[in-house]
């Protein structure tokens, strides 16, 4: 059995692992800071951990479709190389934000640029394919 996009699949799974780790960190922070569900606010440290988790979810809604549409319209390797920057950026974003909100910028920019490149690249590639297909 063959799968056409193994590298893109690996990047997708690694990204989900990063998000899963962030989910666990929220659960641990709830216990440590005594913030029971469904409360969404608490001490500043808890709020930073919660925001990392929420912002990453918001970003996934753009990143994952952009990653896969880029992959199917160009090449698995390029999608994976560009896409791998996203989970790396999110880890840097989280590390900075956990320490202090003002330290989140570099990681955010890395993830944002990865998503933007995949989005624009996928749009251009799919436009060329559509033009060739439908004239």
What is the tens place of the pLDDT at every residue in 18-64? Answer: 999 999 999 999 999 999 999 999 999 999 999 999 999 999 999 99
Question: Interhelix angle for 76-83 vs 85-99, to 10°?
Answer: 10
Total length of the chain = 135
Q: What is the CATH number of the domain that holds 18?
A: 1.20.120.550
Q: What pLDDT, on the 0 to 100 scale, is given for residue 135? A: 85
Domain count, the chain: 1
pLDDT in tens, 71-87: 999 999 999 999 999 99
Return the half-sphere exposure (C-beta side, CA atoms, 13 A cut-off) of residue 93. Answer: 25
Question: What is the structure's pLDDT at 27?
Answer: 96
Give residue 96's domain range: 6-134
Q: Which of 28, 135, 50 is nearest to 94 (CA)?
A: 50
Task: Kindly state the percentage of the chain with pLDDT values over 90.
Answer: 97
Confidence of residue 115 (pLDDT cuts 50, 70, 90): very high
**pLDDT (0 to 100) of residue 1:** 66
Q: Which residue, chain included where needed, has tokens 């699949």?
A: 9
The reply to whether 90 falls in a domain is yes
**CA 71, CA 118: separation in Å to the nearest integer?**
9
How far, in Å, are 62, 93, 100 from residue 51 at the CA level? 17, 11, 12
């Amino acid at each position: 059995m063959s799968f056409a996009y193994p590298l893109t699949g690996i990047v997708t799974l690694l990204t989900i692992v990063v998000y899963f780790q962030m989910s666990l960190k929220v659960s641990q922070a709830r216990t440590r800071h005594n913030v029971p569900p469904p409360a969404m606010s608490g001490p500043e440290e808890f709020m930073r951990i919660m925001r990392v988790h929420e912002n990453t979810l918001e970003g996934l809604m753009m990143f994952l479709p952009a990653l896969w549409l880029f992959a199917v319209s160009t090449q698995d390797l390029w999608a994976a190389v560009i896409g791998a920057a996203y989970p790396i950026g999110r880890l840097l974003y989280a590390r900075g934000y956990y320490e202090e909100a003002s330290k989140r910028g570099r990681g955010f920019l890395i993830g944002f640029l990865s998503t933007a490149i995949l989005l624009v690249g996928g749009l251009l590639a799919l436009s060329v394919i559509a033009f060739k297909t439908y004239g």
